[in-house]
Structure formats: C-alpha cells, structure tokens
Chain A
C-alpha cells in the first residue's frame, strides 16, 4: 500500500490510523489507515456494505469511531467537533433540505447556522455556479431530485469548507450537473482544498479524482495516485479486489 506524503504545507486534510467502528455487535470499519493531503481529490470505491457510508459519517463527526486515531485538518473530531464541522462540507444521499421551505430559505437557514459572512452574495455566487438561480424561490419538494441535489451541494459549500466529504455525489445528477460538479471539485483542489468522495461509478470516479482507493470489508485495500492507473486496469483490479462485478 502506498500512502501519499504530505504536500509540505503542514498537516494533511485527513489522517486516519487504525480506525475501527462496530454497530452493536457488527464491526464495519476494521482498522482503516489512510492519509489525504491538502489539494488532493480522493475517490473511494467500494461495494455495498464495504463501510463507505460509515466512513463518511465518521469523517463528518456524525458517528464516533471506537478506536484508532482520526485527525481532520489536524483537529480531533472527538474534542474539537465544532471546529471540524466548520472545516468540512458534507453531502450524502440525503440533501438535509426542508421540503416545505424554498431553496433560498433553506440556504438562509444553514447560512445562519454556519455564521456565513456576506451570506446573500455567497448564495447568489453558488446559485450561479451550480445553475439553479431560477429555482431558488420554489419550495424544495416541488423540485426534481437532481435540482434538490444541486441545492444540497450548495448547502454543503455555503461556508467555504476546506474539505469536502461527498457520498456518491454523481447519483441523481444529469450530465450538465456532473460537468459543473467536476469543474467545481477541480477548482476546489487547485485552491488547496481537499475532496473525499465515494462512488460506485468507475468512469466518473476516475475522472474526478487524482487519488483512488478501494475499500474492502472495512479496510483500505488499495491506494494509488490516479496517474498510475488506466481505467481498464483499474476496472479489472476493482472486480478482483472487491469481488463484485462493476
């Protein structure tokens, strides 16, 4: 296993050593190690039940790991949860939007909760970037799933987080939105931020990332810079390691 080294600007975005997590009596993460440097975008592949979602929830401070050490931007999520939450932007399968509020009201709500300065300008900026300006004053439940997801993404980006945690971000998005997302993630990393995303989709996962990893049975089974693998090689490798047809 090759672990990328720090990029020289100090601590990494994520440092995980020997993370374990069990729900009730079932262990989901079994000693997980990896480092994500600043400025990098990591695609984590894994079959259903490999522990991807649990890992994202652990990194997002929504679940606490049982043992091992975890540092997000060199902060300890157990002790400095508030600071970690300020640093991360999270998007999961759920948008965390309130159905009966408009997109704008939802963003206002989260903007205030995060204490975003110059909130209105920031919201307009994101609405333009993600192209949902026209839909902002409609109640969320009247919007298509893809549009909700875009607003959900804006919610995750609202407070300018340095680290993005995205659980299968491409699902439910159309080609246009995926294009926007890819550009956005590239810019984010170019500006020194980091992205941690999980995915099933080999093609999309490889385009968006500069590092790839495979999660099998609660452990990182593979971790390489993207430049070192070709899509075809990676596909056959993924099938072999994860034991699932892709």
Chain B
C-alpha cells in the first residue's frame, strides 16, 4: 500500500470521527430512560465489535503464519494485536463509565464483562510474549500459537461464566442489545460509528504493520553493518 493511500486512510478516519462525534453528541436525540449517558453507546458498541474483529484478524494471520511462515503474516498478527488491545481497553473503559452512570456500579461480574476482561488479559499476554520470547522465527511461532489459543478461549470463557450464572441468580441485567424500536437517527448514528471505527482500526493496523516491517528492516541493516 503506498504512502498517499495510507495518509488518505488516516485522513478518512479523522473526518469520519468528526462526523461520528457530531452525530453522537448533537444529532441524535436523548434516549428516553437513560438520558445523555446513553450516548457512550455510539462509541462503546462499535469499539467492542471492532475489538473482536481485531482478535479475529490475529487468529487468521496466526494460522496463516503457521501454514506458510512469512514476516508479512507475522507483522499483520502483531499489528492487529496491538491495535486490538487498544480497542479492548477502550471497550472496558467506556463500559465501566456507562456502568457507573446506569447501574450505579463500575463493574459487575456478568459473563459478558468477565469475558471482556479475560480477553484483555489474553491479548496483553500476547504482547508480553512478543516482548519476552526469543526474536525471529521462533518468537513469531510462539506468538502464532498463543494467537490461536486466545481466540478459541474467548467462547470457552463465555460458556463457563454463563453456566455459572445459570446456577446463581442474575444480579443485574446486562446492557440490552439495540432493540427493534430504535430511533432511526440512533440506528444511523450507530451504524456510521461502526464504520468509522472499522476504518480507524484498518488505518491504525496498516500503519503499525509498516512500522513493524521498518523496525525489522532497520535491525537487519544494523546487524549487517555491525557484521562487516
């Protein structure tokens, strides 16, 4: 991907973000029961979904790397994981803000929240592995193995926490999914925000990908310079 395309992608993400901000804060009406706080949802929901997309991308790139090892797959997995951790962190942050305002508590150990938190740990662990594993092919392979495990684990965590909640009484009802009766402007704003964060995710991952390749190239040059 050439530089002007990359700059264009970042610019597009910026413009779309401005529109999303306008839509979320000024354009859509206040939600009837929750009030202004509900506007966090225009960020929280898209960020959460894109967080899962990022995790999925790590999974796919990891499998591709093990089948056909190349620095490209490795760099895609790495870039996507780093951006993914950013998104999952933001998801937890916006979620707790909303929770405090709506439920009156920051945190609740519901299956959904627990799974999100474990997911955050999984991908933080992924980045730590990148930092502590041996450099080169072996480290990349370890990361790929963890990237596959992490994705398979997410549904398992959800399953085990749901089973547990079946036994215990449900303390609080989780955030309800957007209902059919959603106001058309709200629906549009949500969909647009989703698109915005998707473009942002792609733009950031592409940037991180090229940065990663450049880091590897620099290191190669440095080593061959020292080797002479």
Instruction: Give the shortest distance, in Å, between A31 (CB) and chain B (any CB).
Output: 16
Give A25 to B137 CA distance when docked, in angstroms: 10
| A26 contacts partner chain B, Cβ-Cβ < 8 Å | yes
Give A128 to B135 CA distance when docked, in angstroms: 45
Residues of chain A with a CB closer than 8 A to B135's CB: 24
| B219 contacts partner chain A, Cβ-Cβ < 8 Å | yes
Give A26 to B227 CA distance when docked, in angstroms: 9
Residues of chain A with a CB closer than 8 A to B137's CB: 23-24
A21-44 CB mask vs B (1 if < 8 Å, else 0) is: 001111000000000000000000
Residues of chain A with a CB closer than 8 A to B136's CB: 23-25
In the complex formed, the residue of B with least CB distance to A64 is B137
Which residues of B from 74 to 123 have beta carbons under 8 Å from A?
A: none
Instruction: Give the shortest distance, in Å, between B134 (CB) and chain A (any CB).
Output: 8
Residues of chain B with a CB closer than 8 A to A26's CB: 223, 227
| B165 contacts partner chain A, Cβ-Cβ < 8 Å | no
In the complex formed, the residue of A with least CB distance to B220 is A25
Residues of chain A with a CB closer than 8 A to B219's CB: 24-25
Which residues of A from 14 to 68 have beta carbons under 8 Å from B?
A: 23-26
Give A185 to B216 CA distance when docked, in angstroms: 44
Residues of chain B with a CB closer than 8 A to A24's CB: 135-137, 219
Report the interface size for chain B: residues with CB under 8 A from the other chain: 8
Instruction: Give the shortest distance, in Å, between A19 (CB) and chain B (any CB).
Output: 16
In the complex formed, the residue of B with least CB distance to A22 is B136
Residues of chain B with a CB closer than 8 A to A25's CB: 136, 216, 219-220, 223
User: How many pairs, one residue from A and one from B, have CB atoms within 8 Å of each other in the complex?
Assistant: 13
Residues of chain B with a CB closer than 8 A to A23's CB: 136-137
Instruction: Give the shortest distance, in Å, between B209 (CB) and chain A (any CB).
Output: 17
Which residues of A from 232 to 246 have beta carbons under 8 Å from B?
A: none
Give A26 to B219 CA distance when docked, in angstroms: 9
Residues of chain A with a CB closer than 8 A to B227's CB: 26
In the complex formed, the residue of B with least CB distance to A25 is B220
Give A23 to B134 CA distance when docked, in angstroms: 10
Give A24 to B135 CA distance when docked, in angstroms: 6
B135-177 CB mask vs A (1 if < 8 Å, else 0) is: 1110000000000000000000000000000000000000000
B194-225 CB mask vs A (1 if < 8 Å, else 0) is: 00000000000000000000001001100100
Instruction: Give the shortest distance, in Å, between B86 (CB) and chain A (any CB).
Output: 27
Give A24 to B227 CA distance when docked, in angstroms: 14
Residues of chain A with a CB closer than 8 A to B220's CB: 25
Give A23 to B135 CA distance when docked, in angstroms: 8
In the complex formed, the residue of B with least CB distance to A27 is B224
Which residues of A from 57 to 98 have beta carbons under 8 Å from B?
A: none
Which residues of B from 23 to 75 have beta carbons under 8 Å from A?
A: none
Give A25 to B71 CA distance when docked, in angstroms: 11
In the complex formed, the residue of A with least CB distance to B217 is A25
Instruction: Give the shortest distance, in Å, between B222 (CB) and chain A (any CB).
Output: 8
Instruction: Give the shortest distance, in Å, between A29 (CB) and chain B (any CB).
Output: 14
Give A25 to B136 CA distance when docked, in angstroms: 7
Instruction: Give the shortest distance, in Å, between B221 (CB) and chain A (any CB).
Output: 9
Give A26 to B136 CA distance when docked, in angstroms: 10
Which of A23, A25, A26 gathers the greatest number of chain B CB atoms within 10 Å? A25
In the complex formed, the residue of A with least CB distance to B136 is A24
Give A12 to B185 CA distance when docked, in angstroms: 76
Instruction: Give the shortest distance, in Å, between B114 (CB) and chain A (any CB).
Output: 38
In the complex formed, the residue of A with least CB distance to B216 is A25
Give A24 to B216 CA distance when docked, in angstroms: 9
Which of A23, A24, A26 gathers the greatest number of chain B CB atoms within 10 Å? A24
Give A23 to B16 CA distance when docked, in angstroms: 43
Give A23 to B136 CA distance when docked, in angstroms: 6
In the complex formed, the residue of B with least CB distance to A66 is B137
In the complex formed, the residue of B with least CB distance to A26 is B223
Give A9 to B173 CA distance when docked, in angstroms: 78
Instruction: Give the shortest distance, in Å, between A216 (CB) and chain B (any CB).
Output: 14
Excluding A24-B135, A24-B136, A25-B216, 4 further A-B contacts by CB distance (< 8 Å) are A24-B137, A25-B136, A25-B220, A26-B223
- For the complex of A and B, the 3 pairs showing the least CB-CB separation, nearest first, are A24-B136, A25-B220, A24-B135
Residues of B within 8 A of A (CB): 135-137, 216, 219-220, 223, 227
13 contacts between A and B (CB under 8 A): A23-B136, A23-B137, A24-B135, A24-B136, A24-B137, A24-B219, A25-B136, A25-B216, A25-B219, A25-B220, A25-B223, A26-B223, A26-B227
